[in-house]
Amino acid sequence: MLFKYLPVDRIDVLENLQIRFSPLLSLNDPFESQPLIDIKNKIDEVLQQQLEDLDKIWDNTAIEEKTPENRKLLEEIRSEAIANAYSINNPSGLGKRLIDFLNDRFGVLCLSRTEDNLLMWSHYTDQGRGLVIGFDEQHEFFNQPTLSGQIKKPTPVIYTNKRSKVIPNEEKYFEKLFCEKPRDWAYEEEERLFRLYINKKNSIGKDIYGMDIILSNLPKDAIKAVFVGYNSTEETKKKIFAAIKQHDIMCSVFQTRVSLNEYKIEFDEIAPEIV
């Protein structure tokens, strides 16, 4: 399974069966918005790579988003990229421009390979007052087909102390741009799923960074487990259990607790009806 840590106010993921793919500038690592791209005075190659990246993102877009209207918008984005390509000539400048260019059109769902990390529970579940959702990583929601027929799976994040300069056309170019983080974040054991948002008409508002909040429908059968936080209130538990019952989500439910003898989180499987 892959896991999503959520604060208490994000019970709505279960209640509404919708989840957000966040813009890059809404992520908490400041280096997400500062990739270094080594163009080596080859502007034409950089431009070609950017256009290929747009095609790749389109390939990875959910089928329902591949409308003629969105395709027209994509072509407008391509024209903008061509017009502005030659105004950038340094690694940090090009990287910043690329992020600015993609930021509010390109969403990422950050997941973890672990459900019992103490730091994650503390940082991302509101000190244990929230929850963790376990997803079936084999579900089609996490394995979208591209136009070429290839299956796009979540991409593991690479943790390193050395900040890479990304060279266009090099191996793992896409992964180095969007899936590389400092080793300080290694405890997250993160994997990422990407989605392209060309049309913002479904935005429900702005986040604290001023970015659009666009939610994607979450198939209920992709949910395999729910872990109730060790500091969750009775009201929070009732909301979680009510959402599971309302949508008839077939998943295991666990009550999380802090171990009395070791530095770890422990889980007890429970039935929602007990609250």
- The residue that leads in pLDDT, 120 or 169, is 120
Cα 119 to its chain centre, rounded Å, is 19
Report which listed range, 168-172, 212-216, 264-268, is most confident: 264-268
Alpha-carbon distance of 272 to 275, in angstroms, equals 6
Per-residue model confidence (pLDDT) at position 196: 74
C-alpha–C-alpha distance, residues 218 and 151, integer Å: 19
Please state the pTM of the whole predicted model.
0.75
Q: Which helix (H) or strand (E) holds 238?
A: helix 234-246
What pLDDT was estimated at residue 203?
A: 74
Q: Read off the amino acid at residue 117.
A: N
What are 53-105's pLDDT values in tens digits? 778 777 777 777 778 888 888 788 878 777 776 555 566 666 676 667 666 67
275: confidence class by pLDDT, cuts 50, 70, 90: very low
For 12-66, write each residue's pLDDT tens digit.
Answer: 999 999 998 888 777 777 776 666 666 655 666 667 777 777 787 777 777 777 7
Residue 261: partners with Cβ closer than 8 Å, 6 or more residues away: none
pLDDT tens readout for residues 171-213: 777 777 788 888 999 999 999 988 876 566 677 888 777 777 8
Q: Which of 83-92, 96-105, 214-223, 225-234 has the lowest mean pLDDT?
A: 83-92
- Average pLDDT of the chain, as a whole number: 82
Q: Spell out the SS3 assignment of 27-73.
A: CCCHHHHCCEECCCCCHHHHHHHHHHHHHHHHHCCCHHHCCHHHHHH
Share of the chain above pLDDT 90, in %: 42
pLDDT exceeds cutoff 80 at 113:
yes
